[in-house]
Amino acid sequence: MHNRLLTFGLAGFNLIAVSGILLLPSATGASQRDTVFLSVLVVSVQAGQAVVVQVGSAFPNKAYFTTFLALGVLLASAVFEDVAGALSDFAVPTGLGLAGVLFGTCVGAVAQVELAKGSAFTYQVVLLLRSLIWAGVVGICLFFYDVGVLYASLGAWILIALLSIRRTPVSDTKMNLTLTMLLGAAAGLLYRNDVSLARAAAFGASFHIWNIALVIYTISQSLLGFVVVNEIFSRRTLVLAKLTTRRRYAIKLIVIVSLPVFTVVGIVVQSAFGSNVISVVVQTVVLVLAGSVVAAQASLAHINSSSRAVYLAGAIGFGALVGSYALGVAPAVGLLIELLFSGLVVALGTRGIRGGVSSEPNSPSL
């Protein structure tokens, strides 16, 4: 019990550290683009790390090569941002996403070793150390030196790599498992960058308040992910046994009724009050509630062997998000529309309990 409380505490400190990384550009007066780029980096590293943990393999075999490749792509993205101007609007986020996934697979291999030993406490220590180094280097560079967030992140990654890669085990990952990991990383890049897209949609006078709101939403989702991994996925058989037909339909009803209501509330509040502080607070609360419903639904769908429906729903929801922002909706409204589509697809696309355990667990991590 004592060790479990310490593990929860470390996870909480890790959330604070990552939130600090995302808030540093605003606190130091850096540009809104810097905040978005840093968000893409953080999310992409998480995606790469998560897929290694999900599959349970120390990918890749060439850890040193992959690390140098990740650092090289990040450096190239930073230089391109400096020299290309408007041409970098698409190229730089793409490069950052690739660099983040590559680097995440390497540092994720270290975390996976600790999980394989059954040490959740040490796993959280590894995550916290990575986040503290990243936040510390970026903070020092922004506060005391005229160094951009991408170059600062490059320095942080080098330090993290020096501490991590020497401990990375050699993997015997088979080709089919490697392909699964690549597909998982690609999906993670898509789904996890919805908040980065929301930040990009928030450019303007209200950007900083929306950035804080999105950090709060991200924290809530990360906490839910921690609970899902430790309280649901770790008790798959027990939870599946309790997931009776009546309870399954009750969950579907909650999703089908609540998500449209949350979306309408968000649209009405945004239309009536714009992006003032009270409006953003209300929309953030609604967004956290909607995200909680969808996260709980998705976790139960995974253990009910409906992972494909969850992945399809995520893709459809992300498409709805992109379309919404193309029409100029507010950040929270776009995310609510994404959650609405993804939640309804899972609710309407899953069937009865088939038994068994999903082979494709969704393990969100910060």
The answer to whether the CB of 343 falls within 8 A of the CB of 293 is: yes
Nearest to 13 by CA among 118, 129, 103: 129
* Amino acid (1-letter code) at residue 196: S
Contact (Cβ atoms closer than 8 angstroms) between residue 142 and residue 28: yes
H or E segment to which residue 73 belongs: helix 63-84
Q: What is the pLDDT of residue 234?
A: 59
Q: What is the pLDDT of residues 54-80, one digit of tens each?
A: 555 554 445 666 777 788 888 888 887
Predicted TM-score (pTM) of this structure: 0.69
pLDDT of residue 359: 37
Q: What three-state secondary structure class fits 366?
A: coil
Is residue 224 a contact partner of residue 292, using CB atoms and an 8 Å limit?
yes
Six-digit token string for 321: 């998000």
Percent of the chain with pLDDT over 90: 16
Helix (H) or strand (E) holding 295: helix 277-303
> Which pLDDT does position 361 carry in this prediction?
36
Secondary-structure breakdown of the chain: helix, strand, coil percentages, each rounded to the nearest 5: 85, 0, 15
Angle between helices 88-116 and 63-84 (to 10 degrees): 160
- Write down the pLDDT at residue 360: 38
Please, what's the b/e burial string for 216-245 (b: 16 or more CB within 10 A of its CB; e: otherwise)? bbbbbbbbbbbbbbeebbeebeebbeeeee
- Closest alpha carbon to 215 in 108, 321, 287: 287
Q: Which of the residue ranges 117-121, 153-157, 257-261, 301-305 would you say has the lowest mean pLDDT?
A: 117-121
Mean of per-residue pLDDT scores for the chain:
77
Q: How many CA atoms lie within 13 A of 288 on its CB side?
A: 17
DSSP 305: T
User: Do residues 200 and 11 touch, judged by C-beta distance below 8 A?
Assistant: no
Mean pLDDT of 324-351: 88
